[in-house]
Amino acid sequence: MNTGKFLTTMYDEALDINGDVSNFASLLRCSCILYLSEPHGVLNLANAELRQRETLDKAG
């Protein structure tokens, strides 16, 4: 996934969850801090969510 697609996906997901994204730069900073503090845990969580989303997409 290229950087533009990643940022668009991140923004769209934040918009879906919160209904508004008032400070996207802050969201990016927090995301980076979380990743840098625990990269393995973040990747495991992201992979689990992707598997769950794929399962829901197949079921629906």
Four-point Cα dihedral 57, 10, 8, 46, nearest 10: -50
The identity of residue 23, as a single letter, is N
pTM for the structure as a whole: 0.60
> What residues does each domain of the chain span?
3-58
Q: pLDDT tens per residue, the chain (60 residues)?
A: 788 998 999 999 999 988 999 999 999 999 899 889 988 888 888 889 889 988 988 887
- Cα(3)–Cα(20) distance, integer angstroms: 22
pLDDT of residue 24: 96
